[in-house]
Chain A
Amino acid sequence: DAGVIQSPRHEVTEMGQEVTLRCKPISGHNSLFWYRQTMMRGLELLIYFNNNVPIDDSGMPEDRFSAKMPNASFSTLKIQPSEPRDSAVYFCASSWGSDLTEAFFGQGTRLTVV
C-alpha cells in the first residue's frame, strides 16, 4: 500500500477562492482524520470520520470549512471562501479503528492563501 495519499502537495490561492484538499486513506482503514498544523496552534483535529460517517466536527473553524467522505477510499476538505489565516499544513490520517492503533499520516498539503 502506498500509504495515505494527499493532493495537492502545495496550493497557493488568492483570498476568496475555493480550495479543495483531497485524501485517499489506506485501504481497509475505517477511520479518517483531518488535521491542521500551524506554528501557533500545533496539530488541531478538524474533523474525523468513522465508516464514512462524520463523528466529530467540533474542530472545524467555521462554516467556510466543510468535509465529505463519499466512500471508504476518498475524502475532501473544502474551504470556501479562503482567507489568509487559513494558511497552514493540512494533514489527513487514517487508522483501523476497531482497536487502539496507530494513525498513519499523509504527506500533507501546504496551503498558502495570499
Chain B
Amino acid sequence: GENVEQHPSTLSVQEGDSAVIKCTYSDSASNYFPWYKQELGKRPQLIIDIRSNVGEKKDQRIAVTLNKTAKHFSLHITETQPEDSAVYFCAASTGANSKLTFGKGITLSVRP
C-alpha cells in the first residue's frame, strides 16, 4: 500500500520567513496530493491540493510543488505569520473512491 513520509517532523521559523515542508510517497499510481492544516484541538482542514497533471499550484502565500519522477511534493509558505503555527499533514490518494494516506504530520512554529 501507499506510504507517505514527511520531513522534518518539526520546523521553527521566524515570522516573515518562508517555510518548506516536504513529503515523499511510494505508490507511483497516486495522483492526488492534498495538504491539511490542523490547529491545536481542532479538525484537519484542507488548505491546498494538487493533481498529478500539474507541477505547481499557488494560492496567495501558499504553494505546492509536485515531482512525480522523484515521488515527492512540497508545501511552501511565504511571509509566515504566527497564525500559520499548526500541524501540517500531507496525503496521497490513487484516485476516486480510494483512500487518503496521511503522513505523520509536521509541527510548524512561527516565532513572532
B102 touching A91, Cβ below 8 Å: no
Any chain B CB within 8 A of the CB of A45? yes
Inter-chain contact A50/B97, CB cutoff 8 Å: yes
A32 CB, nearest partner CB in chain B, Å:
11
Contact partner, A100, options B42, B44, B51, Cβ 8 Å: B51
Establish whether residues A33 and B99, one from each chain, have CB atoms under 8 Å apart when the complex forms. yes
Cα of A43 to Cα of B95 in the assembled complex, Å: 19
Contact A43:B89 (CB < 8 A) given known A100-B31, A105-B44: yes
Q: A31 near B97 (CB under 8 angstroms)? A: yes
B contact residues, total (Cβ < 8 Å): 23
Nearest CB on A from B66, distance (A):
13
Residues of A contacting B97 in the complex (Cβ-Cβ under 8 angstroms): 31, 50, 55, 97-98
Chain B residues with CB under 8 Å of A25's CB are none
Q: Are B44 and A91 in contact (CB under 8 A)?
A: yes
A99 and B89 alpha carbons, distance in the complex (Å): 21
Within 8 A of B (CB), among A37-76: 41-43, 45, 48, 50, 55-56, 58
Query: Is A102's beta carbon under 8 Å from chain B?
Result: yes
Q: Is the CB of A42 within 8 A of B99?
A: no
Q: Does B67 contact A (CB under 8 A)?
A: no
Other-chain residue from A98, A100, A102, A105 in contact with B43 (beta carbon distance below 8 A)? A105
Q: Quick one: CB contact mask for A65-96 with B, threshold 8 Å, 1 for yes?
A: 00000000000000000000000000100000
Binary CB contact string for chain B from 91 to 112 against chain A (1 if under 8 A, 0 otherwise): 0010111011111110000000
| Chain A residues in the interface with B (C-beta under 8 A) | 31, 33, 35, 41-43, 45, 48, 50, 55-56, 58, 91, 97-100, 102-103, 105-108
